[in-house]
Amino acid sequence: MFIATLVADGLAAGQLSEAADRLAGVDCAPGAWHWLDEGRAADLLFVSHPGAARAALEGAFPATDIIVQPQAGRSKKLLVADMDSTMITVECIDELADYAGIKSRIAEVTERAMRGELDFAEALDARVALLKDLEESAIDRCLAERVKLMPGAKALVRTMRARGATTILVSGGFTRFAEPVGAEIGFDRVIANRLEIADARLTGTVTKPIVDSATKETTLLNALAELGLAAEASMAVGDGANDLAMIRQAGLGVAYHAKPIVAAAAGVRIDHGDLTALLYAQGLARRDWTIV
């Protein structure tokens, strides 16, 4: 048995009936639907052909996210998440570059790296080199002035932890941002790159080895082994090309407001809603959330 979860502001019963008709039209044998939160999220059960179900539903309803998955095991015991543009609303290196007056130069490289057009490690080294001699104090200013949590981040992570899941923030960004962000949201562990600093200024380098796509994938696989979990018990969420490997390894791989290369490859896309969509994906209504 499979479930299609529909998430949208102003979701109507008529849309759910239409969704059932669409599934019937591609031989998915739909069953009953029920609200998780009325007008916001609902589950629709069906018997077969999940790929056809996803194709039939995605894009059929305005501003609606569709999550198609097996009914069994939808409650996840491991979350591995990207930080920049996923758990927070900005790319930290771009915002930090603004304090050096070179945001446009660095943001262009960041965008290309996230689209998968550049080698991530090489692109990171090149961008960090441009920040050489920036005052260390700019990091704390950037954190205070620019870094905002993504809506739903605390609810997602703290609810999953309250239900016994392990949560790991693994970022190609920097520990000076990831550690306070991870603590504020409530992650169990934080992994990120370390900016090298001397005499209260950035040296233009990061400590090696760089946290990259392979690190993210390895983090997920090692956590599964450590916890004795099957891949199906895990969720990975990110937006850029360096998140693809971990997204493909996870039981539920989620492209969150993602670059096209990631959206095309992920099992689930969240294009419209916030991170609480990933609680609805696990069958959790608002009354079940640790933070509303």
What is the set of active-site residues? 82, 84
> Do 156 and 276 contact (CB within 8 A), yes or no?
yes
* H/E run at residue 198: strand 195-198
Distance CA 53, CA 130 (A): 47
Q: Please state, in angstroms and as integers, the Cα–Cα distance from residue 23 to each residue in 19, 89, 192, following that order.
A: 6, 35, 42
What residue type is assigned to position 171 of the chain?
A: S
260: buried, middle or exposed (CB in 10 Å: 19+, 13-18, 0-12)? exposed
Burial degree of 221 (CB within 10 A; 0-12, 13-18, 19+): middle
Asked if 213 and 221 count as a contact pair (C-beta separation under 8 A), the reply is no
